[in-house]
Amino acid sequence: MKKTTALRQMLSGSDIHVAPGVYDGMTARLAEQAGFKLIYASGGAIARSCGFPDIGMLSFSEVLHRLEQMVEVTQVPIIADADTGFGNAINVSRTVKAFERAGVAALHLEDQTFPKRCGHLNDKSLVSTQEMVHKIRVAKDSQTDPDFTLIARTDAIAVEGFDAAMERSHAYLAAGADVIFVEAPETIEQIELIAKYIKQPKLINMFHSGKTPLVSKDRLQALGYKFIIIPSDLQRATIHACQHTLRTILEQGDSGSIAEQMVSFAERERIINTHAYLDLDLGYGRN
């Protein structure tokens, strides 16, 4: 089954699906091996993995290259963060075509101005509803796979208020968006009202210490949300583990005292599937 079709089946089913945020081939592999049936390629996490903040500093090509790596080493559908589409409607068209060719199953576009900011940072600014509607129409017209899913994100709550976010959401759905993503609701009441006012498929961003309060998966499913993305938790855990290991090596000269906190050499090679690649090479060599 195509990954786009698998995602469409998730969209039409009754379950809610959690997608952890990944940022390279290794973390994508780990998420799939952990049992997740859906992965989120976080633009913010990709940027930070390059050493930059999530403020639109990475180029279209840099993000696309990372997506290609993730797709190559996994079998589950990937939702990709396409930020603002990397520019105007012309850029959006190219982004959709390239992301679809890369093999992701869905992407989300947001209504911030370019360059954008992380959805939980302050001082965001938005394009007009009319401009975003045009981008969505162009994005839909640029698809070649009818199962490819277009998610429209609005950051309007922080800029124009909750009512404006609802108005924009309905306009984006009317323009052809398959799923709505209202970024950074600030209260449980807002999360509930989004579900009340938007009956179409919805995605929500859930992570500890952001502007949005944590709500259980079961409660979100009861409210009608289809997808939960958790963009940065894996990266934040990785940062903490790296800092701890680096302190140990700096103080002690090696990592022997925390060996039980790391995977072994052999386990790392199993995760990355080294033997399968080497067997492929040996097999051709024997012929």
What's the pLDDT tens digit per position in 22-80? 999 999 999 999 999 999 999 999 999 999 998 889 999 999 999 999 999 999 999 99
% of the chain at pLDDT higher than 90: 89
Q: Single out the residue of 41, 11, 4 nearest to residue 24, CA to CA.
A: 41
pLDDT of residue 281: 83
Tell me: pLDDT of 258 over 60.
yes
From CA 124, how far away is CA 77, in angstroms rounded? 30
Task: Please identify which of the residues 24, 32, 54, 111 carries the catalytic annotation.
Answer: 54
Task: Please identify which of the residues 24, 32, 81, 111 carries the catalytic annotation.
Answer: 81
Task: Please identify which of the residues 66, 153, 155, 178 carries the catalytic annotation.
Answer: 153
pLDDT of residue 285: 55
Task: Please identify which of the residues 24, 83, 100, 147 carries the catalytic annotation.
Answer: 83
pLDDT of residue 164: 97
Task: Please identify which of the residues 24, 32, 100, 110 carries the catalytic annotation.
Answer: 110
Enter the pTM of the model: 0.94
Task: Please identify which of the residues 40, 48, 117, 155 carries the catalytic annotation.
Answer: 40
pLDDT grade for 211, boundaries at 50, 70 and 90: confident
Look up 83 and say whether it is catalytic.
yes
Q: What is the mean pLDDT of the chain?
A: 95
Beta-ladder partners of 203: 181, 227
pLDDT grade for 114, boundaries at 50, 70 and 90: confident
Domain spanning 3-238: which superfamily?
Answer: Phosphoenolpyruvate-binding domains (3.20.20.60)
pLDDT of residue 260: 96
From CA 123, how far away is CA 239, in angstroms rounded? 26
Tokens matching residue 267:
């386990």
Tell me: pLDDT of 119 over 80.
no
From CA 98, how far away is CA 229, in angstroms rounded? 22
pLDDT of residue 241: 97
Look up 110 and say whether it is catalytic.
yes
Look up 205 and say whether it is catalytic.
yes
Whether 91 contacts 127, CB under 8 Å: no
Look up 147 and say whether it is catalytic.
no
Look up 108 and say whether it is catalytic.
yes
Under DSSP, the state recorded for 87 is: S
Look up 81 and say whether it is catalytic.
yes
**Domain residue spans in the chain?**
3-238, 256-287
Task: Please identify which of the residues 29, 117, 120, 205 carries the catalytic annotation.
Answer: 205
Task: Please identify which of the residues 108, 117, 120, 168 carries the catalytic annotation.
Answer: 108
Look up 40 and say whether it is catalytic.
yes
The gap from C-alpha 184 to its chain's centroid, in whole angstroms, comes to 15
Tell me: pLDDT of 286 over 60.
no
